[in-house]
Structure 1
């Protein structure tokens, strides 16, 4: 069944897209909730006319989305979470957690436009933020243990020092 979407639905499409969905999904969810209409020939003509008239507005929205995406350029989140001895987090880091951390940095992002898998262990992961139809940003998310903030930096600083001491001891013998 072809449906014209009336709003953005993450995982399906964006507003004014024509998508193919299963009959039950379209008939029982999208159409009754007002999130889509049947893509009849007359509805397609109306959509084409609306898009032609709204081209300037759409371009302005896209430019704004690109500005917001540029704000996130080079931003990397480090989230401290309670971790068990095996490196597994208690609970998970999800889109809502990422949105909260971005808000702390002064960047307001709705959690609904962030897609990622729930993070359940320590490491570096990636979240995708969908600002507009063709404007997406990949955001690196690093989860560290709460009681040991950024152990990698300390290990890197200590490792060369121990090598130098070992080299000096070998030279002394």
Structure 2
């Protein structure tokens, strides 16, 4: 089907271009969302007669979107979620969840503006694109963690904190405590030094 684009459509074309698309894509997406018109002679003439107004309105919307994008630049949001030892979430984070988090952070957006192929199901830092206008997008960092402390660690390290990481630290502490259970660390060091001196004396003898 041939259609006239009423706005820029990624990987398809700019406003005013006449492009050929699959019928299903046109009927299910472009036409109902008013992103395009069927490229009939009547619609072509109507578009050309109204082109100046449409372009002016698009320019105004783009300016508004750019203003919002400037406020969103560098934005990072934290989302606290329950997760298993491997970092797998008990549930998932959807585009609606992200839209709510960004809005709570001070920039009002809708679920439809969040570009997310699939729900997020793991802990960590996730770059998510927010499309504010067909020609204006901004990326926000979504930090999904089990607690505020873990979120801060993830910001600092750039990687997810899993339960296994915490377990390793606990085990290391327990091993150290077991080794020095009956003596202070200083005493243990003195014993090692004394043993080394004895060995050295034996060698010299």
TM-score by length of 2: 0.62
Q: Which has the higher helix share?
A: 2
Cα 1:136–1:86 change in 2 (3 A) is same
> Could you say what secondary structure the match of 1:149 adopts?
helix
1:9-88 equivalences under 5 Å are: 18-26=18-26, 29=28, 33=32, 35=34, 36-88=36-88
- In structure 2, stretches of 5+ residues that fail to align are 158-188, 194-205
State the 1:149 CA deviation. 3.0
Cα 1:14–1:109 change in 2 (3 A) is farther
State the 1:109 CA deviation. 0.4
Contact map agreement 2:144 2:151 (CA 8 A) in 1: no
Cα 1:49–1:144 change in 2 (3 A) is same
What residue is the counterpart of 1:139 in the other structure?
140
Q: What is the rounded CA distance, in whole Å, between the counterparts of 1:47 and 1:122 in structure 2?
A: 48
What residue is the counterpart of 1:103 in the other structure?
103
> Could you say what secondary structure the match of 1:78 adopts?
strand
State the 1:12 CA deviation. 7.2
TM-score by length of 1: 0.71
RMSD, aligned CA: 3.5
State the 1:78 CA deviation. 1.6
Contact map agreement 1:82 1:147 (CA 8 A) in 2: no
- In structure 1, stretches of 5+ residues that fail to align are 157-168
What residue is the counterpart of 2:124 in the other structure?
123
Contact map agreement 1:125 1:140 (CA 8 A) in 2: yes
Larger Rg computed on CA atoms: 2
